[in-house]
Amino acid sequence: MKTRSQIPVPKIAFEGTGTANPLAFRHYNPDEVVDGRPLSEHLRFSVAYWHAFRGTGGDPFGPGTIRRPWEEGRDALSVAKKRLDAAFEFFQKIRVPFWCFHDRDIAPEGRTLAESNRNLDQIVAHAKALQQATGIKLLWGTANLFSNPRYMNGAATNPDAHVFAYAAAQVKKALEVTQELGGENYVFWGGREGYETLLNTDLKREQAHLAAFLHMAVDYAKAIGFDGQFLIEPKPKEPTKHQYDFDVASGIAFLRTHGLAKHLKFNIETNHATLAGHSFSHEIEVAAAAGMLGSIDANTGDPLLGWDTDQFNTDVKELTLAMVSILKAGGLGRGGLNFDAKLRRASVDIEDLFHAHIGGMDAYALAFKVARRIIADGKLTRFVADRYASYDDGFGRDIAKRKIGFKELDRLVQTKLGEPKPRSGRQEYLENLLNDYLH
């Protein structure tokens, strides 16, 4: 499949840290073999279609600033195809093995659901051919259940069962096309699954409906033989005032309450963690502790702004800590690092899209290498293990194994142990140690 080049930037090469070329990788060498596998397979980078190819730089104060030549044209379907061609050219040049999309990002919505589905089928056929020609794969698909005005009161949590039904039909189709494209995961992000005011909301009922919706998705995936991993993507707010999948912990409680825990894992987004008042690593650790770490939406917020700014993350320290948690958890499996991040409003050139992804990929690649060193070195791991060593034998072990109770512990303290000696947590020492690895 040969398409005309639409992007006047060459393929990005790995040139190492000595290079002065801004359009080159300094740390990400996709072919570098680590533990018998290329780096590209460890990091599983993905481009988010909605930002990279549907983002316009628009904000609530003004329309889009970013104009791409492939957007010219009156027929929405031909534009959609040209745009997809440009996207796959970009995926190859930036050397990502994966992409992700929402149904409505790739194909225009029609006047009826049937027409929307037909549009989607045409574009999916085109995407399939591009995937085959380039070897680029689908990390995950999802449905946009938040932009169309019909979803203003929610999709699965809409008080009107008619809207629920429409959302169900849309997700049915989105699952089918994700399967058609060999998607390795399917994501549920509940953009409008929450409430604006409790004055008009039956919270318990809405949560039960959301659970019913997810069960239907699980059943339908089984019926069609879709074996991708389902992922839920927590976010505390925006666009709703309060989203039900607030953070990983409340997501776990929700999934367990409704018998869904074995069917879903988490897609953790850095900026969503921050909005929930957590660190990125906290969310990863909470998911990993439950055996539910699925995938990452790689981005960051701005420390001075309280909304989802979806920026590219170049903070190597933050990413190193995240990578340590991910590697300790055994990696992301069939998940990946999806750049759910967008250009700033004034970054209007196509080069900016390259700089953005190069920065994100290099920062993650460097973080991955530093994290591996930290783990191989073992100092941090040993420090933590030592800190809990009193639970490894004796009465500590009995506590951990739940073989002992208050009565026995009371007797122990009163007859033998007495007052515990203070033990330093050594936080400052550990922070300095971390810096040793980073510099």
Draw the binding track, 169-198, toward ligand XLS (x: CB under 6 A; -: no contact). Answer: ------------------x-x---------
Which of 236, 340, 366, 374 is the binder for Ni ion (CB under 5 A)?
Answer: 340
Residues numbered 245 to 284 that lie near Ni ion (CB under 5 A) are: 269
Draw the binding track, 350-379, toward ligand XLS (x: CB under 6 A; -: no contact). Answer: ------------------------------
Q: How far is the CB of 307 from ligand XLS (least distance, A)?
A: 10
Helices and strands counted in the chain (H then E):
16, 14
In Å, how far are 285, 394, 410, 412, 414 from 418, measured between CA atoms? 34, 16, 10, 8, 6
| Residue among 85, 103, 105, 310 flagged as catalytic | 105
Residues near 284 by beta carbon (within 8 Å), at least 6 away in sequence:
268, 293, 296, 322, 325, 326, 329
Q: Binding residues for ligand XLS, how many (CB under 6 A)?
A: 10
Phi and psi for 35 in degrees, rounded to 5? 50, 45
Handedness of CA 400, 401, 407, 412 (dihedral sign): negative
Which of ligand XLS, Ni ion, none lies near 254, with the C-beta cut-off 5 to 8 A by kind? none
| Residue among 51, 102, 126, 272 flagged as catalytic | 102
Nearer to ligand XLS, 50 or 90 (CB): 50
Of 309, 362, 425, 396, nearest to 22 by C-alpha is 362
Residues numbered 113 to 172 that lie near ligand XLS (CB under 6 A) are: 142
Determine whether 105 is an active site residue: yes
- Under the criterion CB under 5 A, does residue 193 sit at the interface with Ni ion? no
Task: Quote the CA–CA distance of 300 and 284 in Å, as a whole number.
Answer: 15
Q: Binding residues for Ni ion, how many (CB under 5 A)?
A: 4
Answer whether 87's CB lies under 8 Å from 99's CB: yes
- Pair type for strands 293-297 and 229-232: unpaired
- Under the criterion CB under 6 A, does residue 297 sit at the interface with ligand XLS? yes
- Under the criterion CB under 6 A, does residue 308 sit at the interface with ligand XLS? yes
Task: Quote the CA–CA distance of 299 and 352 in Å, as a whole number.
Answer: 16
Q: How far is the CB of 101 from Ni ion (least distance, A)?
A: 12
Which of 83, 137, 192, 235 is the binder for ligand XLS (CB under 6 A)?
Answer: 235
Which of 141, 308, 311, 371 is the binder for Ni ion (CB under 5 A)?
Answer: 308
Task: Quote the CA–CA distance of 69 and 76 in Å, as a whole number.
Answer: 14
Residues near 102 by beta carbon (within 8 Å), at least 6 away in sequence:
49, 50, 141, 142, 143, 144
Which of Ni ion, ligand XLS, none lies near 142, with the C-beta cut-off 5 to 8 A by kind? ligand XLS
Q: Is the peptide bond before 239 cis (omega within 30 degrees of 0)?
A: yes
Q: Which residues are catalytic?
A: 102, 105
Given the rule CB under 5 A, which residues bind Ni ion?
269, 297, 308, 340
Given the rule CB under 6 A, which residues bind ligand XLS?
102, 142, 187, 189, 233, 235, 269, 297, 308, 340
